[in-house]
Chain A
């Protein structure tokens, strides 16, 4: 019964099922979203409450909410930083989170306060092991 969840090798992950992609051109910036496993478990996403540009976020703390048809889930910031962009397309098309969790369904981009925090995140193989336990 277990679905075959996509876990791209080039991303970092949290145990709360967020992913983080470090920007190649601006290595102090990173894009954040929720994983394929997460979107499948919350179900149809119908509304998102995301932090606006300029907000500070702290690693491990709630920075947004993901409302699905059946439940509401917290979005946790993987790292400390300041929001430099939020995905405005999700306002009218929250279903992008389900359709393309690692692509058009991205949620926020942050300027990281301390790139050393990336060492605390999971790599793809560690994250795969985590969701295997579910």
Chain B
């Protein structure tokens, strides 16, 4: 029982534009990727259920945001990212990866094709600097970092789109999945995309810092529950969405991670890591990211060892682990040897000296039942 409530401003950490809003709502802060971020407001479990059942709003302004432009922006972006983004029409967005020459994942990113010859890219906070350097290396001055000039709010849950429609207008309400649009709002510009990281419907807004508080207030007044990084983690894990630094790293191939859908090889276009990825695609895999559910009560945590059952040797460590508020069970992910990672296979996870039996399941852990 020695945890700090975390109410004091951390030293040397970047502060969110909306920090006072979070404080007023009772947020507890924690450092994350160089930022002081709201970990939770009233409680992780309640915030989790608010997103699953209604609508929640997350301040995700720590994510790196960049704009690139130019008549060759599509092919240039394609040269540094694994998905063939040139196939995106204006107003569409797609998940993609930055890989290294060895075919390992340097970051996972979202690419948005805006109107005209402009594109936006969203990076993980922990990689934002080197990711921007990557863009700068091919775009030069046609790449601009907008992280400090903007805030980013994720609005997620079954009621998210109706709330967003009422706050931002009809242009947003009718948008298809993974579509994006720029619109004027209260004298500033908002880039909106129907995307997210929770397994729920909803969208993400990039907005100038001057309008950010007004948008936050409108969303809260419209009924969104503030939700912190704690709930964001349990939600993304239930949806089996990987987290860079936990489940993905520079030594991990997209194919092992189940992210082959984010790699385009059939267009023949060159991009960083292409040769290694082409080889990896055709090579039998030795391990894959498997999804594990506890078979009795207990909580899985990142880093715990996964053992072969009945006193067997450790075969992997959990790259992510948590308690699933929706399933009320421990859930986690680990790179298991392919021959062992069959659906239904049993393992034991070493929970601080006690063995907790787990079972391999298909992803995701939690799927929204649509009416």
User: Chain A residues in contact with chain B, CB under 8 A?
Assistant: 1-2, 16-18, 34, 38, 40-44, 46-47, 49, 65, 67-74, 91, 95, 98, 134
Within 8 A of A (CB), among B69-102: none
B48 surroundings in chain A (CB, below 8 A): 69
B4 touches A47 (CB 8 A): no
CA distance A68 to B39 in the complex (A): 13
CA distance A68 to B5 in the complex (A): 14
A70 touches B40 (CB 8 A): yes
B45 touches A44 (CB 8 A): yes
B4 touches A69 (CB 8 A): no
Minimum CB–CB distance for A101 against chain B, Å: 12
Q: Is B283 in contact with chain A by the CB < 8 A criterion?
A: no
CA distance A125 to B2 in the complex (A): 20
Q: Is the interface of A mostly helix, strand, loop or mixed?
A: mixed
| 26 A-B pairs (CB sep. < 8 Å) | A1-B7, A1-B23, A2-B7, A16-B1, A18-B1, A41-B1, A41-B3, A42-B3, A44-B43, A44-B46, A46-B323, A47-B299, A49-B298, A67-B298, A67-B323, A69-B48, A69-B230, A69-B323, A69-B325, A71-B3, A72-B301, A72-B352, A74-B1, A95-B45, A98-B43, A134-B4
B40 surroundings in chain A (CB, below 8 A): 43, 70
B297 touches A91 (CB 8 A): yes
**Top-3 shortest CB links A-B:** A69-B44, A17-B1, A44-B45
A47 surroundings in chain B (CB, below 8 A): 297-299, 323, 330
CA distance A98 to B230 in the complex (A): 17
In this complex, the member of B3, B7, B39, B322 whose beta carbon has the largest number of chain A beta carbons within 10 angstroms is B3
Contact among A2, A38, A49, A70 with B39 in the assembled complex (CB-CB below 8 Å): A70
Minimum CB–CB distance for B21 against chain A, Å: 14
Minimum CB–CB distance for A61 against chain B, Å: 14
CA distance A2 to B26 in the complex (A): 10
B1 touches A42 (CB 8 A): yes
A44 surroundings in chain B (CB, below 8 A): 43-46
- A134 with B5: in contact, given A43-B43, A69-B325, A72-B301 (CB under 8 Å)? yes
CA distance A2 to B5 in the complex (A): 9
In this complex, the member of A40, A69, A95 whose beta carbon has the largest number of chain B beta carbons within 10 angstroms is A69
CA distance A95 to B44 in the complex (A): 12
B323 touches A73 (CB 8 A): no
Q: Is B253 in contact with chain A by the CB < 8 A criterion?
A: no
CA distance A2 to B28 in the complex (A): 11
B297 surroundings in chain A (CB, below 8 A): 47, 91
CA distance A42 to B6 in the complex (A): 12
A74 surroundings in chain B (CB, below 8 A): 1
In this complex, the member of B1, B44, B234, B301 whose beta carbon has the largest number of chain A beta carbons within 10 angstroms is B1
B3 surroundings in chain A (CB, below 8 A): 41-42, 71, 73
Minimum CB–CB distance for B351 against chain A, Å: 9
Nearest B-chain residue to A62, judged by Cβ: B352
A69 surroundings in chain B (CB, below 8 A): 43-45, 48, 230, 234, 322-323, 325
CA distance A109 to B121 in the complex (A): 57
Minimum CB–CB distance for A73 against chain B, Å: 5
The interface bits of chain B over 257-293 (1 if a CB of A lies within 8 angstroms of the residue's CB, else 0) are: 0000000000000000000000000000000000000
Minimum CB–CB distance for A18 against chain B, Å: 8
Nearest B-chain residue to A45, judged by Cβ: B45
A17 surroundings in chain B (CB, below 8 A): 1
Nearest B-chain residue to A67, judged by Cβ: B299
Minimum CB–CB distance for B302 against chain A, Å: 11
A34 surroundings in chain B (CB, below 8 A): 1
A134 surroundings in chain B (CB, below 8 A): 4-5
A43 surroundings in chain B (CB, below 8 A): 40, 43-44, 230
Within 8 A of A (CB), among B7-46: 7, 23, 39-40, 43-46
Minimum CB–CB distance for A89 against chain B, Å: 14
In this complex, the member of A1, A2, A73, A98 whose beta carbon has the largest number of chain B beta carbons within 10 angstroms is A1
Minimum CB–CB distance for A76 against chain B, Å: 8
CA distance A44 to B297 in the complex (A): 16
- A73 with B1: in contact, given A47-B299, A65-B352 (CB under 8 Å)? yes
A41 surroundings in chain B (CB, below 8 A): 1, 3-5
Nearest A-chain residue to B28, judged by Cβ: A43
A38 surroundings in chain B (CB, below 8 A): 1
